[in-house]
Chain A
Amino acid sequence: MIWNEELETLPREELQALQLKRLMATADRVYATVPFYKKKFDEAGIQPADIKSLKDLQRLPFTTKTDLRDHYPFGLFAVPMEQVVRIHASSGTTGKQTVVGYTRQDIDTWAELMARSLAAAGAQKNDIIQNAYGYGLFTGGLGVHYGAEKLGAAVIPISGGNSKRQIIIMQDFGSTVLTCTPSYALFLAETAEEMGVDIKQLKLRVGIFGAEPWSEKMREEIERKLNLQAIDIYGLSEVIGPGVSIECLEAKQGLHVFEDHFIPEIINPQTGAMLPYGEKGELVFTTITKEAFPLIRYRTRDISVLYAQPCKCGRTHVRMERVSGRSDDMLIIRGVNVFPSQIESVLMNIEGVEPHYLLIVDRKGNLDTLEVQVEVNEKVFSDEIKNLQVITRKIENDIKDLLGVTAEVKLVEPKSIQRSEGKAQRVIDKRKI
């Protein structure tokens, strides 16, 4: 279902005209209200009035996570605090958190985009949405919550964690839609299994999963184990939160970016040059309707591709490929670029192996080492050493073939790799460089 038929299927020319109008207004406003942007524009030798077409976007300076941290907490807000009605902060794993603000209009915009997202995933008014994204400073919980209410569905604000209770509520309340991170979805499937709950008896129909990179294989596994349609949602608190883009149930191929609110670009992360549709690179977003926290050409560090081909769902907004990694969690091991998601896809392609893994990167002498810990389970376990060695060697060979890096695979006991109720911790880098 299309929530906002008019705007989501707007002909490209009209959409671009709307984008340009909104971009010009945003540039005017940030230049006038945020000293940081005025300085950056001046340094780049561009004035808001110079923006005459969407192509001129390329002349604007980038904004980075470091810029956000440097203006902690409210230095990039474009409205006085009396107009701010909500503050969120990103789960900063290193250094300071990045803080974002919302006006009442921003909250309405966000709810609209999340209602569009839920509808694109197939959720409707009569659905019961179990929202297991964390509530709090993290945007996931409240983002989904407001969208679900706008859609008219019944939302269960259970937040993350307390997994047994999640399963009991699924059973007793008859939840039809689950929203959480993909790794937590798998954890819930395991929990249900341990509790002896028959997933087929649950009413779950759709799962909307995001906030961490995942693979097509992981989707298949989640769909099989939870007996639902798994839809990928994308967003980041800096841009607005979840609801920047979503897959449609019809195609499940690429996430439609809500282009009437955000202008996406793909750039070469090394040179900063804008890349054409179809080429892989770093995603960059410019917000064109946000009031409290507008962003000009924000570098997400997420790696993706944009596609302009029309979609069978009827939406005219471009699609981005599922995020295949981050340019900053990219590991460089003996000079080879490695994304944890690539290791995951290797594991998922081996029969019986579960996607619970931990990468331990270390340096012995002058040589980087990569240890891949993989949990053993009843499907791959054998009473014969040689059979287990066949599995570890197969994983090692496949990693070598796909990534060109030598890894040592270590089988570990089931459930010994820590399960995360939020973003899964996949990498321990012990190198001191």
Chain B
Amino acid sequence: MKVEQMSVFLENKPGALAEVTRILGEAGVNIRALSLADTKDFGILRLIVNDNEKAKEALGPKGFTVRKTEVVAVEVPDRPGGLADILKILAEARINVEYLYAFVQQSGENAIIIFRFDETDRAIAVLAEKKVRILEGEKVYAL
């Protein structure tokens, strides 16, 4: 029920992001979703790609620090209040969202949001109980 996300450490300087995306492009890795968190000095690029192993193999030798993290892809109804309903479930269960970002493509009528929780397994259980749809990793990579 979890999705594997790649995180890449980037120095805050021109061309850093261009370099990562170029390497991934040349390796034939397709980026499915991404978010960039930035501070004054550095950034963390988080990516969902179609082939994690290939991405890591391409970036590692080029000196990038790459880390895999488990995140959750949640289907969110594409209507006003759709995300709010899901966040309410999580808040009531006292589960903390570390960060989230949206997927470009939709799953049918629904939007897809990538969530990073402090307690991933409990979050999945809580959402599943409330019949919130969670996407399998394989499905997400292939979207």
Point out the residue from B10, B11, B63, B98 that lies within 8 Å of A384, measured CB to CB: B98
Question: CB distance B63 to A415 under 8 Å?
Answer: yes
Q: Which residues of A contact B37 (CB under 8 A)?
A: 385
User: Assuming the A-B contacts A381-B67, A382-B67, are A411 and B7 also in contact, with contact meaning beta carbons closer than 8 angstroms in the complex?
Assistant: no
Complex CA gap A376/B99 in Å reads 22
Complex CA gap A385/B9 in Å reads 10
Point out the residue from B39, B66, B67, B99 that lies within 8 Å of A389, measured CB to CB: B39
User: Assuming the A-B contacts A378-B65, A382-B67, are A413 and B41 also in contact, with contact meaning beta carbons closer than 8 angstroms in the complex?
Assistant: no
* B:56-115 near A, CB below 8 Å: 63-67, 69, 98-99
Q: Which residues of B contact A378 (CB under 8 A)?
A: 65-67
Q: Which residues of B contact A388 (CB under 8 A)?
A: 39, 42, 44
Q: Which residues of B contact A383 (CB under 8 A)?
A: 5, 7, 44, 46, 67, 69, 116
User: Assuming the A-B contacts A381-B7, A382-B7, A384-B99, are A413 and B39 also in contact, with contact meaning beta carbons closer than 8 angstroms in the complex?
Assistant: no
- Asked if A412 lies at the interface with its beta carbon under 8 angstroms from chain B, I say yes
- Report the minimal beta-carbon distance from B3 to chain A, rounded to whole angstroms: 13
Do most interface residues of chain B lie in helix, strand or loop, or is the interface mixed?
strand
Complex CA gap A388/B41 in Å reads 11
- Asked if A416 lies at the interface with its beta carbon under 8 angstroms from chain B, I say yes
Question: CB distance B116 to A381 under 8 Å?
Answer: no
Q: Which residues of A contact B41 (CB under 8 A)?
A: 410-411
Point out the residue from B44, B65, B69 that lies within 8 Å of A414, measured CB to CB: B65
Point out the residue from A381, A385, A410 that lies within 8 Å of B65, measured CB to CB: A381
- Total A-B contacts with CB atoms under 8 angstroms apart: 52
Query: Nearest chain-B residue to A371 (Cβ)?
Result: B41
- Report the minimal beta-carbon distance from A409 to chain B, rounded to whole angstroms: 9
User: Assuming the A-B contacts A376-B9, A412-B11, are A385 and B44 also in contact, with contact meaning beta carbons closer than 8 angstroms in the complex?
Assistant: yes
Do most interface residues of chain A lie in helix, strand or loop, or is the interface mixed?
loop
- Asked if A377 lies at the interface with its beta carbon under 8 angstroms from chain B, I say yes
Q: 1/0 per position for A391-433, CB-CB distance to B under 8 A?
A: 0000000000000000000111111100000000000000000
Question: CB distance B44 to A377 under 8 Å?
Answer: no
- Report the minimal beta-carbon distance from B35 to chain A, rounded to whole angstroms: 10
Complex CA gap A180/B64 in Å reads 28
Question: CB distance B65 to A377 under 8 Å?
Answer: yes
Q: Which residues of A contact B67 (CB under 8 A)?
A: 378, 381-383
Question: CB distance A413 to B7 under 8 Å?
Answer: no
Q: Which residues of B contact A413 (CB under 8 A)?
A: 9-11, 63-65
- Report the minimal beta-carbon distance from A311 to chain B, rounded to whole angstroms: 44
Q: 1/0 per position for A359-376, CB-CB distance to B under 8 A?
A: 000000000000000001
Query: Nearest chain-A residue to B99 (Cβ)?
Result: A384
* A:339-375 near B, CB below 8 Å: none
Complex CA gap A414/B8 in Å reads 11
* B:22-49 near A, CB below 8 Å: 37, 39, 41-42, 44, 46
Complex CA gap A377/B63 in Å reads 10
Question: CB distance A381 to B39 under 8 Å?
Answer: no
- Report the minimal beta-carbon distance from B44 to chain A, rounded to whole angstroms: 6
Q: Which residues of B contact A376 (CB under 8 A)?
A: 9, 42, 65
The chain A residues found within 8 Å of chain B, CB to CB, are 376-378, 381-385, 388-389, 410-416
Closest 4 CB pairs of A and B: A383-B7, A383-B69, A381-B65, A410-B41
A-B contact pairs, 15 of them (CB 8 A): A376-B9, A378-B65, A378-B66, A381-B7, A381-B65, A383-B5, A383-B67, A383-B69, A384-B44, A388-B42, A389-B39, A411-B9, A413-B63, A413-B64, A416-B11
A-B contacts besides A376-B42, A416-B63, 15 pairs, CB < 8 Å: A377-B65, A378-B66, A378-B67, A381-B7, A381-B67, A382-B44, A383-B67, A384-B44, A384-B116, A388-B44, A410-B42, A412-B42, A413-B63, A413-B64, A414-B64
